[in-house]
Amino acid sequence: MDSDTGPTGSHACGGKGGLAGLAVSAREALVREIDASGVWDPDPVWREAFAAVPRHLFVPHYYVGVIGGYERRWGENPDPEARERWLDGAYADAPLATRLRDGELLSSSSQPSLMARMLVELRVADGHRVLEIGAGTGYNAALLAHRLGDDDLVTTVDLEPEITESARRHLAAAGYHPAVITGDGARGVAERAPFDRIIATCALPSVPRAWLAQCRPGGRVLTPLATGLVALTVADAGHAEGRFLATPAYFVPLRGGDRPEAGPASFEGLPDGARRQDLFRFLLALTRDVLGPREAYALWEREGRPPRERYGVTVDGDREWAWLDDPEGPYTWPLP
């Protein structure tokens, strides 16, 4: 399934010389780096997927921040040293900016160790049908297809035709052919439902009801929310509940539909270090338009600076709310 044909036309599994050998050793080094975090437990099957799927095929070019803007790195650069820098970056445990428009980040390839953690937490089993919201480069869909061993079990959707077309091209180059759909991810993909698992790789202000309607009872939805990752168990089309994972997560917002953008938070009147407190910023993002920054900071201090896993989300019919410790209060906040 994994043809591993590089952007220069070489076969990265075909030998140990040049970029081909570098790609193999770089992928092995990335897997060892993720190994060290212990993320594979209790599902080491994902280790084999990361060892097999060639990330460099999904990032034939990307952008790195430099003073005054971005520098483009690509695999067809005529300079051999520049190609090696591109390959090194492709297998770094770091997010990669892959698509820009007027200086705005439209799409990226997420940090591999975070992707591994999310895939493990998705709790995929053999035979599961999985929907991915946010096709990106196609790399995550390839990992899912490799894990499940059946391309037809995986569907990925993105709003931008250019993104879905390039994802489809990258997937084919690596030997994978899941369903790649152009559409609004907030609406899911009804024609491919029902799904056992739904995973989003873009941030939303709340959980779309369409996802629950397209998920089998007992299914699992894993999505970025605020600056965290919430894992929901679906009871039926109108009910789901779950807690946040401990890990922080920052994703490109989902585009499309009628989803208002939040303005920047104000730290005026708060202690000097408040802006740098990740867990406070998470609470502030989760309660935006409900709690003011001072009120949120007072609650955060009073409750002992709670970690993300003390928070959760409940969807019940037309209502959706976030909560601290208990879905029924005393600390609950409606989501948009």
Q: Is the dihedral of CA 116, 118, 120, 123 positive or negative?
A: negative
Residues 6+ apart with CB under 8 A from 131: 155, 156, 157, 188, 189, 192, 193, 195, 197, 198, 199, 211, 214
pLDDT value of residue 40 = 85
Residues of the chain with pLDDT under 50: 1-16, 257-259
In contact, 314 and 326? CB cutoff 8 Å = no
Confidence at residue 12, expressed as pLDDT on a 0 to 100 scale: 35
Question: In terms of Cα–Cα distance, which of 93, 30, 89 is closest to 65?
Answer: 89
Q: How far apart are CA 195 and CA 15, in angstroms?
A: 39
Residue 268's pLDDT is 80
Check residue 65 and give its pLDDT. Answer: 82
pLDDT of residue 15: 35
DSSP letter for 172, please.
Answer: H
CATH architecture of 18-244: 3-Layer(aba) Sandwich (3.40)
**Stretch (H or E) spanning 46:** helix 45-52
How does pLDDT run across 194-251, given as a tens digit for each residue?
999 999 999 999 999 999 999 999 999 999 999 999 999 999 999 999 999 999 998 8
Tokens of 178: 């899941």
> Would you call 189 exposed, middle or buried from its count of C-beta atoms within 10 A (0-12, 13-18, 19+)?
buried
Q: Which residues are catalytic?
A: 107
> Which pLDDT score, from 0 to 100, does residue 263 have?
56
Judging by DSSP bridges, how do beta strands 130-133 and 154-158 pair with one another? parallel
Domain boundaries, the chain: 18-244, 274-334
In sequence order, what are the beta bridge partners of 72?
63
Q: Is the pTM of this model over 0.85?
A: yes
Written as six digits, the tokens of 128 are: 């599961």
Token digits for 149? 């061993």
